[in-house]
Structure 1
Amino acid sequence: MTSQRRVLIADDEPLARERLTRMVEDLDGYRVSGEAANGDQVLDAMARDIPDIVLLDIRMPGRDGMEVAAHLSRQPNPPAIIFCTAYDDYAVRAFEVQAVAYLLKPVRREALAGALGQAERLNRVQLQALQGQADTDSHHLSVSSARGTELVDMTRVRYCEADQKYVTLHHDNGETLTDLSLKALESRFPEHLLRIHRHTLVGTHFIRSLERLEDGSSQVRVADTNEALPVSRRHVARVRQWLRDL
Structure 2
Amino acid sequence: MDILIVDDEPLARARLVKLLADIPDCQIVGQASTGDEALEQIHRVDPDLVLLDIRMPGPSGMEVAQKISTIEDPPAIIFCSAYDQYALEAFDVKAVGYLLKPIRSQQLQEAIENAKKLNRLQKTTDNHQPPEPGRAHITAKTHRGVELIEIETIRFFSADQKYVTVIHTGGQTLIDQTLKDLEANFSDSFIRVHRNALVAKKYIVALEKGPEKGYQLCLQDCEIKPVVSRRHLTSVKELMQRL
TM-score (norm 1): 0.48
Structure with more contact order per residue of length (Cα contacts < 8 Å, sep ≥ 6): 2
TM-score (norm 2): 0.49
